[in-house]
Structure 1
Amino acid sequence: MSHRHQHPVTVVTDGACSGNGTDDARGGWAAIIIAADGSEVVLTGAEAPSTNNRMELMAAIEGLAATPDGSTVDLVTDSSYLARAITDDWLGSWQRRGWKTAGKKPVANRDLWERLLAQLARHEAVQPRLVRGHAGHELNERADRLAQDAAATAEATTPPMDGTASEQMGFDIT
Protein backbone atom coordinates (compact mmCIF):
# COMPACT_ATOMS: atom_id res chain seq x y z
CA MET A 1 0.00 0.00 0.00
CA SER A 2 1.47 3.34 -0.98
CA HIS A 3 1.74 6.27 1.36
CA ARG A 4 -0.61 9.08 0.42
CA HIS A 5 0.99 12.48 0.31
CA GLN A 6 -1.31 15.22 1.60
CA HIS A 7 0.47 18.10 -0.11
CA PRO A 8 0.57 18.23 -3.88
CA VAL A 9 3.77 18.00 -5.82
CA THR A 10 4.06 20.34 -8.80
CA VAL A 11 5.70 18.94 -11.93
CA VAL A 12 6.35 21.53 -14.65
CA THR A 13 7.25 19.97 -17.99
CA ASP A 14 8.25 20.97 -21.48
CA GLY A 15 9.59 19.39 -24.62
CA ALA A 16 11.48 20.92 -27.52
CA CYS A 17 12.60 19.67 -30.89
CA SER A 18 14.96 21.33 -33.35
CA GLY A 19 14.07 20.25 -36.87
CA ASN A 20 10.79 18.63 -35.76
CA GLY A 21 9.53 16.24 -38.41
CA THR A 22 12.91 15.71 -40.10
CA ASP A 23 15.28 12.75 -39.97
CA ASP A 24 17.87 14.78 -38.07
CA ALA A 25 15.46 16.29 -35.53
CA ARG A 26 17.05 16.77 -32.11
CA GLY A 27 14.74 16.65 -29.13
CA GLY A 28 15.08 17.67 -25.52
CA TRP A 29 12.81 17.57 -22.49
CA ALA A 30 12.77 19.09 -19.02
CA ALA A 31 10.84 18.49 -15.83
CA ILE A 32 10.96 20.75 -12.79
CA ILE A 33 9.61 18.97 -9.70
CA ILE A 34 8.61 21.18 -6.79
CA ALA A 35 7.75 19.60 -3.44
CA ALA A 36 5.30 21.13 -0.97
CA ASP A 37 8.24 22.50 1.05
CA GLY A 38 9.50 24.40 -2.01
CA SER A 39 12.48 22.15 -2.67
CA GLU A 40 12.98 21.27 -6.30
CA VAL A 41 14.62 18.77 -8.60
CA VAL A 42 15.37 19.51 -12.24
CA LEU A 43 15.60 16.70 -14.79
CA THR A 44 16.49 16.94 -18.48
CA GLY A 45 17.15 14.55 -21.31
CA ALA A 46 17.62 14.35 -25.06
CA GLU A 47 16.83 12.06 -27.97
CA ALA A 48 17.69 12.12 -31.65
CA PRO A 49 15.90 11.69 -33.88
CA SER A 50 12.74 12.70 -32.08
CA THR A 51 9.63 14.87 -32.24
CA ASN A 52 8.23 17.64 -30.09
CA ASN A 53 5.34 15.44 -28.95
CA ARG A 54 7.69 12.64 -27.89
CA MET A 55 9.69 15.12 -25.85
CA GLU A 56 6.55 16.52 -24.18
CA LEU A 57 5.62 12.97 -23.17
CA MET A 58 9.14 12.12 -21.97
CA ALA A 59 9.14 15.21 -19.74
CA ALA A 60 5.89 14.10 -18.10
CA ILE A 61 6.99 10.46 -17.77
CA GLU A 62 10.31 11.35 -16.16
CA GLY A 63 8.80 14.06 -13.96
CA LEU A 64 6.14 11.69 -12.64
CA ALA A 65 8.69 8.89 -12.22
CA ALA A 66 10.70 11.12 -9.89
CA THR A 67 7.77 11.82 -7.56
CA PRO A 68 6.90 9.56 -4.61
CA ASP A 69 4.27 6.84 -5.04
CA GLY A 70 0.81 7.98 -3.98
CA SER A 71 1.47 11.66 -4.64
CA THR A 72 -1.12 14.17 -5.70
CA VAL A 73 0.49 15.87 -8.68
CA ASP A 74 -0.23 19.20 -10.35
CA LEU A 75 1.18 18.57 -13.85
CA VAL A 76 1.87 21.93 -15.50
CA THR A 77 2.32 21.71 -19.27
CA ASP A 78 1.95 23.82 -22.39
CA SER A 79 1.13 20.70 -24.42
CA SER A 80 -2.57 20.34 -25.18
CA TYR A 81 -1.65 16.94 -26.69
CA LEU A 82 -0.52 15.73 -23.27
CA ALA A 83 -3.14 17.52 -21.16
CA ARG A 84 -6.13 16.53 -23.30
CA ALA A 85 -5.04 12.89 -23.53
CA ILE A 86 -5.50 12.77 -19.76
CA THR A 87 -8.39 15.19 -19.12
CA ASP A 88 -10.48 14.26 -22.18
CA ASP A 89 -9.78 10.52 -21.64
CA TRP A 90 -8.12 10.00 -25.01
CA LEU A 91 -5.97 7.41 -23.24
CA GLY A 92 -8.99 5.40 -22.15
CA SER A 93 -10.57 5.63 -25.60
CA TRP A 94 -7.37 4.51 -27.30
CA GLN A 95 -7.06 1.54 -24.97
CA ARG A 96 -10.69 0.50 -25.50
CA ARG A 97 -10.11 0.61 -29.28
CA GLY A 98 -6.92 -1.46 -29.09
CA TRP A 99 -4.63 1.58 -29.38
CA LYS A 100 -6.38 2.91 -32.47
CA THR A 101 -7.60 6.45 -33.04
CA ALA A 102 -11.23 7.24 -33.80
CA GLY A 103 -10.12 7.08 -37.46
CA LYS A 104 -8.87 3.51 -36.87
CA LYS A 105 -5.20 4.47 -37.27
CA PRO A 106 -2.50 3.35 -34.83
CA VAL A 107 -1.97 5.82 -31.97
CA ALA A 108 1.30 7.71 -32.43
CA ASN A 109 3.81 7.34 -29.60
CA ARG A 110 1.99 4.37 -28.09
CA ASP A 111 5.21 3.26 -26.36
CA LEU A 112 5.35 6.52 -24.43
CA TRP A 113 1.62 6.67 -23.72
CA GLU A 114 1.86 3.22 -22.13
CA ARG A 115 4.77 4.39 -19.98
CA LEU A 116 2.79 7.49 -19.02
CA LEU A 117 -0.18 5.32 -17.99
CA ALA A 118 2.11 3.33 -15.70
CA GLN A 119 3.27 6.55 -14.05
CA LEU A 120 -0.29 7.90 -13.71
CA ALA A 121 -1.30 4.67 -11.96
CA ARG A 122 1.39 5.18 -9.29
CA HIS A 123 -0.17 8.38 -8.03
CA GLU A 124 -3.20 9.30 -5.95
CA ALA A 125 -4.16 11.91 -8.55
CA VAL A 126 -2.51 13.70 -11.46
CA GLN A 127 -4.23 16.89 -12.56
CA PRO A 128 -2.90 18.42 -15.78
CA ARG A 129 -2.89 22.20 -15.84
CA LEU A 130 -2.53 23.60 -19.35
CA VAL A 131 -0.65 26.89 -19.56
CA ARG A 132 0.02 28.95 -22.63
CA GLY A 133 3.57 28.48 -23.85
CA HIS A 134 5.82 31.50 -24.35
CA ALA A 135 3.35 33.67 -22.48
CA GLY A 136 5.35 34.64 -19.41
CA HIS A 137 4.56 31.71 -17.09
CA GLU A 138 7.86 31.75 -15.19
CA LEU A 139 8.25 28.02 -14.56
CA ASN A 140 7.06 27.09 -18.06
CA GLU A 141 9.57 29.52 -19.55
CA ARG A 142 12.30 27.97 -17.42
CA ALA A 143 11.33 24.44 -18.45
CA ASP A 144 11.31 25.58 -22.08
CA ARG A 145 14.86 26.94 -21.81
CA LEU A 146 16.04 23.72 -20.16
CA ALA A 147 14.38 21.59 -22.87
CA GLN A 148 15.92 23.75 -25.62
CA ASP A 149 19.35 23.40 -23.99
CA ALA A 150 18.88 19.62 -23.74
CA ALA A 151 17.85 19.42 -27.42
CA ALA A 152 21.07 21.20 -28.36
CA THR A 153 23.04 18.36 -26.75
CA ALA A 154 21.23 15.60 -28.67
CA GLU A 155 23.23 13.91 -31.37
CA ALA A 156 21.87 12.03 -34.35
CA THR A 157 23.40 8.88 -32.91
CA THR A 158 21.49 9.16 -29.62
CA PRO A 159 19.30 6.04 -29.61
CA PRO A 160 15.58 6.36 -28.99
CA MET A 161 14.91 5.76 -25.33
CA ASP A 162 13.68 2.25 -24.62
CA GLY A 163 13.81 2.74 -20.86
CA THR A 164 13.63 5.87 -18.80
CA ALA A 165 16.37 8.43 -19.21
CA SER A 166 17.53 7.58 -15.71
CA GLU A 167 17.89 3.92 -16.70
CA GLN A 168 19.86 4.88 -19.81
CA MET A 169 22.16 7.10 -17.76
CA GLY A 170 22.72 4.31 -15.27
CA PHE A 171 21.10 5.74 -12.15
CA ASP A 172 17.73 5.49 -10.46
CA ILE A 173 15.84 8.65 -9.52
CA THR A 174 12.70 6.96 -8.29
Structure 2
Amino acid sequence: MKTVTIYTDGACSGNPGPGGWGAILQYGPHKKELSGGEGHTTNNRMELTGVITALQALKEPCVVELYSDSKYVIDALQKGWARGWKARGWIKSDKKPALNPDLWETLLALCDYHTVHLHWVKGHADNPYNNRCDELAVAESKKFR
Protein backbone atom coordinates (compact mmCIF):
# COMPACT_ATOMS: atom_id res chain seq x y z
CA MET A 1 0.00 0.00 0.00
CA LYS A 2 1.04 3.56 -0.63
CA THR A 3 1.94 5.69 2.39
CA VAL A 4 0.38 9.15 2.32
CA THR A 5 1.04 11.93 4.84
CA ILE A 6 -1.92 14.17 5.64
CA TYR A 7 -2.05 17.36 7.69
CA THR A 8 -5.42 18.90 8.56
CA ASP A 9 -6.82 21.82 10.51
CA GLY A 10 -10.19 23.43 11.15
CA ALA A 11 -11.12 26.97 12.12
CA CYS A 12 -14.25 28.75 13.20
CA SER A 13 -14.96 32.43 13.81
CA GLY A 14 -17.30 32.15 16.74
CA ASN A 15 -18.40 28.69 17.79
CA PRO A 16 -20.79 28.25 16.08
CA GLY A 17 -20.10 30.62 13.24
CA PRO A 18 -18.44 30.73 9.83
CA GLY A 19 -15.83 28.02 9.57
CA GLY A 20 -13.23 26.50 7.32
CA TRP A 21 -10.91 23.55 7.04
CA GLY A 22 -7.63 22.91 5.26
CA ALA A 23 -5.71 19.77 4.38
CA ILE A 24 -2.37 18.92 2.79
CA LEU A 25 -1.82 15.49 1.24
CA GLN A 26 1.72 14.35 0.46
CA TYR A 27 2.82 11.27 -1.46
CA GLY A 28 6.45 11.10 -2.51
CA PRO A 29 7.21 14.32 -4.39
CA HIS A 30 3.51 15.10 -4.85
CA LYS A 31 1.62 17.57 -2.68
CA LYS A 32 -2.03 18.61 -2.86
CA GLU A 33 -3.86 21.26 -0.86
CA LEU A 34 -7.60 21.03 -0.20
CA SER A 35 -9.87 23.45 1.64
CA GLY A 36 -13.50 24.35 2.15
CA GLY A 37 -15.88 25.90 4.60
CA GLU A 38 -19.43 26.50 5.80
CA GLY A 39 -21.36 29.57 6.80
CA HIS A 40 -22.65 28.23 10.12
CA THR A 41 -20.72 25.45 11.78
CA THR A 42 -18.47 24.58 14.74
CA ASN A 43 -14.72 24.22 15.11
CA ASN A 44 -15.03 20.49 15.78
CA ARG A 45 -17.17 19.95 12.67
CA MET A 46 -14.50 21.70 10.62
CA GLU A 47 -11.72 19.61 12.19
CA LEU A 48 -13.63 16.43 11.31
CA THR A 49 -14.54 17.62 7.82
CA GLY A 50 -10.89 18.34 7.01
CA VAL A 51 -9.85 14.81 7.97
CA ILE A 52 -12.80 13.20 6.18
CA THR A 53 -12.31 15.14 2.95
CA ALA A 54 -8.58 14.39 2.88
CA LEU A 55 -9.17 10.65 3.39
CA GLN A 56 -11.95 10.64 0.78
CA ALA A 57 -9.52 12.16 -1.74
CA LEU A 58 -7.43 8.97 -1.69
CA LYS A 59 -8.36 6.72 -4.62
CA GLU A 60 -7.31 3.42 -3.03
CA PRO A 61 -6.62 2.03 0.45
CA CYS A 62 -3.48 3.66 1.85
CA VAL A 63 -1.34 3.77 4.94
CA VAL A 64 -1.99 7.27 6.23
CA GLU A 65 0.17 9.26 8.60
CA LEU A 66 -2.42 11.78 9.84
CA TYR A 67 -1.30 14.92 11.66
CA SER A 68 -3.83 17.16 13.42
CA ASP A 69 -3.76 19.69 16.24
CA SER A 70 -7.28 18.62 17.26
CA LYS A 71 -7.32 16.68 20.51
CA TYR A 72 -11.04 16.10 19.81
CA VAL A 73 -10.22 14.14 16.65
CA ILE A 74 -6.98 12.46 17.73
CA ASP A 75 -8.13 11.40 21.21
CA ALA A 76 -11.57 10.20 20.09
CA LEU A 77 -9.93 7.92 17.51
CA GLN A 78 -6.77 6.92 19.39
CA LYS A 79 -8.47 6.25 22.72
CA GLY A 80 -11.44 4.45 21.13
CA TRP A 81 -14.01 6.98 22.33
CA ALA A 82 -15.68 7.37 18.92
CA ARG A 83 -16.12 3.61 18.49
CA GLY A 84 -17.56 3.47 22.02
CA TRP A 85 -20.01 6.26 21.22
CA LYS A 86 -21.11 4.39 18.11
CA ALA A 87 -21.49 1.11 20.01
CA ARG A 88 -23.74 2.87 22.54
CA GLY A 89 -25.91 4.45 19.84
CA TRP A 90 -23.94 7.73 19.83
CA ILE A 91 -24.16 8.16 23.59
CA LYS A 92 -21.03 9.11 25.55
CA SER A 93 -19.97 7.40 28.76
CA ASP A 94 -21.53 10.28 30.74
CA LYS A 95 -24.90 9.39 29.12
CA LYS A 96 -24.97 12.60 27.06
CA PRO A 97 -25.37 12.47 23.28
CA ALA A 98 -22.14 12.39 21.26
CA LEU A 99 -21.86 15.40 18.99
CA ASN A 100 -21.39 15.11 15.23
CA PRO A 101 -22.41 11.45 14.86
CA ASP A 102 -22.90 11.92 11.11
CA LEU A 103 -19.26 12.92 10.66
CA TRP A 104 -17.92 10.34 13.10
CA GLU A 105 -19.80 7.59 11.25
CA THR A 106 -18.11 8.62 8.00
CA LEU A 107 -14.70 9.01 9.60
CA LEU A 108 -14.81 5.62 11.32
CA ALA A 109 -15.66 3.95 7.99
CA LEU A 110 -12.72 5.72 6.34
CA CYS A 111 -10.43 4.60 9.18
CA ASP A 112 -11.56 1.02 8.50
CA TYR A 113 -10.79 1.43 4.78
CA HIS A 114 -7.37 3.02 5.25
CA THR A 115 -4.66 2.16 7.78
CA VAL A 116 -4.50 5.42 9.73
CA HIS A 117 -1.68 6.30 12.13
CA LEU A 118 -2.58 9.31 14.27
CA HIS A 119 -0.22 12.09 15.31
CA TRP A 120 -1.13 15.09 17.44
CA VAL A 121 0.82 18.27 16.71
CA LYS A 122 0.82 21.49 18.69
CA GLY A 123 -1.28 24.08 16.89
CA HIS A 124 0.08 27.49 15.90
CA ALA A 125 3.61 26.33 16.65
CA ASP A 126 6.60 25.49 14.47
CA ASN A 127 5.08 22.91 12.11
CA PRO A 128 4.91 24.57 8.67
CA TYR A 129 2.31 22.11 7.31
CA ASN A 130 -0.01 22.59 10.28
CA ASN A 131 0.41 26.35 9.96
CA ARG A 132 -0.41 26.20 6.25
CA CYS A 133 -3.56 24.17 6.98
CA ASP A 134 -4.55 26.83 9.51
CA GLU A 135 -4.06 29.54 6.86
CA LEU A 136 -6.25 27.61 4.42
CA ALA A 137 -8.96 27.05 7.05
CA VAL A 138 -9.03 30.69 8.20
CA ALA A 139 -9.14 31.92 4.59
CA GLU A 140 -12.14 29.68 3.89
CA SER A 141 -13.96 30.82 7.03
CA LYS A 142 -13.51 34.46 5.96
CA LYS A 143 -15.46 33.77 2.76
CA PHE A 144 -18.60 33.34 4.89
CA ARG A 145 -18.34 36.48 7.04
Shorter-chain TM band: over 0.9
Q: Which of residues 24, 45, 56 is equivalent to 1:32?
A: 24
Partner of 1:64: 55
Unaligned runs of 5+ in 1: 156-174
Q: Are 1:19 and 2:2 matched, yes or no?
A: no
**SS of 2:40 mapped into structure 1:** coil
TM-score by length of 1: 0.80
Residues 28 and 154 in structure 1, CA contact (< 8 A), matched pair in contact too: no
Partner of 2:140: 150
Deviation at 1:112, TM superposition (A): 0.6
Partner of 1:170: none
Deviation at 1:38, TM superposition (A): 2.1
Residue type at the aligned position of 1:142: R
| Identity fraction in percent | 42
Deviation at 1:99, TM superposition (A): 0.9
Q: Are 1:100 and 2:95 matched, yes or no?
A: no
**SS of 1:47 mapped into structure 2:** strand
**SS of 1:69 mapped into structure 2:** coil
Separation (CA, whole Å) in 1 of partners of 2:49 and 2:5: 16
Unaligned runs of 5+ in 2: none
Runs (4+) off by over 2 Å: none
Cα RMSD, aligned residues only: 1.1
Instruction: State the number of aligned residues.
Output: 145
Partner of 1:136: 126
